[in-house]
């Protein structure tokens, strides 16, 4: 059984989806909402497996809704506006249903459902990180789920090939962004690159310890991060 939520500001749109869902007993409707704000609240509350998501809704657009979710369900966009199709597939939606659509077209969308939502996660993370201001939350991998965590809770960032590990207290999460990308996205007033493989959160620094001509940084979670000589000048600027 998969839990389904419908977010559409048009009653006719919600009714059509409910009618078509009757042919799929394993897809169980748990809630329906008519605006973006309630969509965020109810998706975070019920944690559905699948969301039929309109794009132009009061409160928040469908794309904005994605950036506020704690966990990511599979998304099928259902909208009357064809100009958003490219962006929808850029965030790796399962499908893009252009109203009005037939039962056969709906069936094709259901057949495209994939339990692996990591592609959706990667591009939705891009939505989070590409806001005009510095992000307050980022999307991370936790086992087979995708969750969001507060940026302020990050102790330090560790390079991990083309990806990055985010050290949050004693937990370690995987980010789809490389460390250089994260350096550009994180607030430089709070996050400092101290090594080609490390970025620290200045608010989470417990102490600095001299190590030869450089330093080791002990974070509040007791992790020790080495400062390389190439980044010493940046660190000296914050030492009074």
- Summarize pLDDT for 195-219 with one digit per residue, the tens: 999 999 999 999 998 877 788 999 9
Domain boundaries, the chain: 2-121, 133-236
Query: Helix, strand, or coil here: 21?
Result: helix
Across the range 60-73, mean pLDDT stands at: 86
Query: 2-121, what's its fold?
Result: Rossmann fold (3.40.50)
The percent of residues in the chain predicted with pLDDT above 70, rounded, is 86
Best CA proximity match to 77, nearest among 116, 124, 130, 146 = 124
Query: 133-236, what's its fold?
Result: OB fold (Dihydrolipoamide Acetyltransferase, E2P) (2.40.50)
The pLDDT of residue 190 is 92
* 68/198 Cα distance (integer angstroms): 27
Helices 103-111 and 11-21: angle between axes, nearest 10 degrees:
70
The pLDDT of residue 87 is 65
Averaged pLDDT score across all residues of the chain: 85
| β-pair partners for 238 | none
DSSP 67-116: TT-SBPPEEEEEES-GGGHHHHHHTT-SEEEESS--HHHHHHHHHT--S-
Contacts of 79 (CB under 8 A, 6+ apart): 54, 55, 56, 62, 96, 97, 98, 99
The total of other beta-carbon atoms located within 10 Å of residue 137's CB is 18
Asked if domains 2-121 and 133-236 share a fold, the reply is no
pLDDT-based confidence at 117, cuts 50/70/90? very low
Lowest mean pLDDT among 6-10, 28-32, 90-94: 90-94
- The answer on pLDDT for 129 being more than 80 is no
The pLDDT of residue 73 is 86
């Amino acid at each position: 059984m998969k839990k389904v939520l419908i977010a559409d500001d048009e009653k006719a749109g919600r009714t059509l989806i409910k009618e078509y869902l009757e042919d799929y007993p394993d897809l169980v409707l748990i809630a329906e909402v008519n605006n973006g704000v309630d969509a965020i609240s109810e998706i975070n509350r019920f944690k559905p497996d699948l969301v039929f998501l309109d794009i132009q809704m009061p409160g928040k657009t469908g794309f904005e809704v994605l950036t506020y979710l704690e966990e990511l369900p599979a998304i099928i966009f259902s909208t009357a506006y064809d100009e958003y199709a490219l962006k929808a597939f850029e965030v790796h939606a399962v499908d893009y249903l252009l109203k009005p659509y037939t039962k056969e077209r709906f069936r094709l969308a259901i057949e495209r459902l994939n339990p692996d939502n990591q592609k959706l996660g990667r591009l939705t993370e891009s939505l989070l990180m590409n806001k005009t201001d510095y992000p307050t939350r980022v999307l991370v991998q936790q086992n087979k789920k995708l969750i969001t965590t507060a940026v302020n809770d990050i102790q330090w960032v560790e390079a991990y090939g083309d990806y990055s590990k985010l050290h949050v207290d004693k937990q370690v999460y995987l980010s789809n962004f490389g460390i250089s990308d994260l350096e550009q996205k994180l607030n430089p007033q709070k996050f400092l690159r101290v090594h080609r493989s490390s970025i620290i959160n200045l608010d989470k620094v417990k102490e600095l310890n001299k190590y030869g001509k450089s330093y080791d940084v002990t974070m509040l979670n007791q992790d020790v991060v080495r400062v390389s000589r190439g980044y010493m000048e940046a660190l000296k600027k914050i030492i009074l």
